[in-house]
Amino acid sequence: MDMENNQINYIEFRAKNLDEIKKFYSKAFGWIFTDYGPTYTAFTDGNLDGGFEFTEDDIVNGVLVVLYHKTLNIIKNKILEGGGTITKDIFSFPGGKRFQFLDPSGNELAIWSDK
């Protein structure tokens, strides 16, 4: 299945204890987890994929909505032109590249690409 530009594709949460969070969501909802090192675990619920990133910081906004776009530089420029602010510039991770931004109200989102 081809991914569509500008669609919510992934949701990322923060967690203080990854083992505890995996046990909770596995038991409560049947989510399946895949670890990517000691500070990140990904999940699938059979419909949507997501992940949990370890943090020691207080969790204020614990959800990062991740959209997909085939061409990161194009969508990054549109975000900047529309008044958004880049909080993490384009970086690589296993499976692709992404960046994070704030919308004009201060909501942080991310956009990734496998291209």
Domain regions of the chain by residue span = 7-113
Residue pair 73/9 in contact by the 8 Å Cβ criterion = no
**Cross-strand partners of 14:** 53
- Return d(Cα 29, Cα 107) in angstroms, integer: 27
Cα-Cα-Cα-Cα dihedral sign, residues 36, 38, 44, 48? negative
- Return d(Cα 58, Cα 73) in angstroms, integer: 32
- In CATH terms, 7-113 corresponds, of 3.20.20.140, 3.40.1080.20, 3.40.190.10, 3.10.180.10, to 3.10.180.10
Residue pair 107/62 in contact by the 8 Å Cβ criterion = no
Residue pair 112/91 in contact by the 8 Å Cβ criterion = no
Give mean pLDDT in consecutive 10-residue pieces for the chain, a chain of 115 residues: 80 93 90 95 90 90 89 95 94 95 88 93
pLDDT confidence of residue 65 = 92
pLDDT confidence of residue 42 = 96
Check residue 106 and report its DSSP letter.
Answer: S
> 0.95 exceeded by the pTM?
no
